[in-house]
Amino acid sequence: MQNRGGESTSVSNKNKCPRCMQCDTKFDFLTRKHHCRRCGKCFCDKCCSQKVALRRMCFVDPVRQCAECALVSHREAEFYDKQLKLLLSGATFLVTFGNSEKPDMMVCRLSSNQRYLLLDGDSRHEVEVTRIAAVQMLTEGFPPGEKDMHTYTSLPGSQPVSEGGNARATGMTLQYRAPGAEGVTQLKLTAGEDANGSRRQATAWLVAMHKAAKLLYESRDQ
């Protein structure tokens, strides 16, 4: 098959990526070209040698990825194995909608299809995950003079909340775009006590949600 220039399509496709996009090695009979299953870019075997499961793209078995994508996929795999179950089970929070002065006691959890945050109490609300524009963690336990909150938006450079450090997650604010509404809507979650009078489950849920937000924005940037 030929294109308009008279060149065969197969030759034309090969010329579109004649070199490794990482180390600039030229592809030839001995140096084979491989495609990263996550970003789709072409690399030599050395620069695309890691094989990692890619669950969000329905690759359950490990597939070839470049070093940068493999790092993100490893973090996603850790999230699926450790944090996802926690988000699905939910936790108790004091929930404040917009500028309301009175919070409501509600259970917040991730829906089984991982598309919505569900809030159940005297009323029921849901927030579509893809409509979340910014996540801000509220923490305590910093040394004097340091800020007590971390913000994660689509911009790089935000600081993560540590699970093992001195800072402890106490709440979270979400900004999201509600269907049919102009601008963004704000939702504040403050860690509440469970049936045993403990906030441990809510604190762990907040840390897991923060990690989920980071993965969401990293995937958007790719």
Question: What is the average pLDDT score of the chain?
Answer: 79
Residue 65 falls within a domain, yes or no?
Answer: yes
Sign of dihedral through CA atoms 166, 188, 75, 19? Answer: negative
Instruction: List the CATH number of the domain containing 128.
Output: 2.30.29.160
User: Using one digit for the tens of pLDDT, what is the confidence trace for 90-100?
Assistant: 999 999 998 88
Residues 6+ apart with CB under 8 A from 62: 51, 52, 53
In a shared domain, residues 106 and 215: yes
In a shared domain, residues 94 and 110: yes
Say what the pLDDT of residue 163 is. Answer: 42
User: Using one digit for the tens of pLDDT, what is the confidence trace for 89-136?
Assistant: 999 999 999 888 899 999 999 999 889 999 999 999 999 988 888 888
In a shared domain, residues 176 and 134: yes
Token readout for 191 is 């860690």
In a shared domain, residues 77 and 99: no
| Residue 40 φ then ψ, to 5° | 85, 0
Say what the pLDDT of residue 41 is. Answer: 94
Provide the domain limits for residue 59: 34-84
pLDDT tier at 195, thresholds 50, 70, 90: confident
Q: Domain count for the chain, please give it.
A: 2
- For residues 132 and 213, what is the distance between their CA atoms, to the nearest angstrom? 9
Residue 195 falls within a domain, yes or no?
Answer: yes
In a shared domain, residues 45 and 136: no
Among all chains, which residue has been given the structure tokens 């990482």? 22
Say what the pLDDT of residue 214 is. Answer: 79
In a shared domain, residues 53 and 126: no
In a shared domain, residues 204 and 112: yes
Final residue belonging to a domain, choices 84, 99, 126: 84
In a shared domain, residues 60 and 132: no
Among all chains, which residue has been given the structure tokens 């907040």? 206
In a shared domain, residues 107 and 212: yes
Q: Where are the beta strands (DSSP E) in the chain?
A: 34-35, 42-43, 50-54, 59-65, 91-97, 104-110, 116-120, 124-128, 132-140, 149-152, 168-176, 185-191
User: Rounded mean pLDDT of 181-208?
Assistant: 89
Contacts 24+ apart (CB under 8 A), 79-86: 79/208, 79/211, 79/212, 79/215, 80/55, 82/208, 83/207, 83/208, 83/211, 83/212, 84/110, 84/114, 84/208, 86/204, 86/205, 86/208
Residue 16 falls within a domain, yes or no?
Answer: no
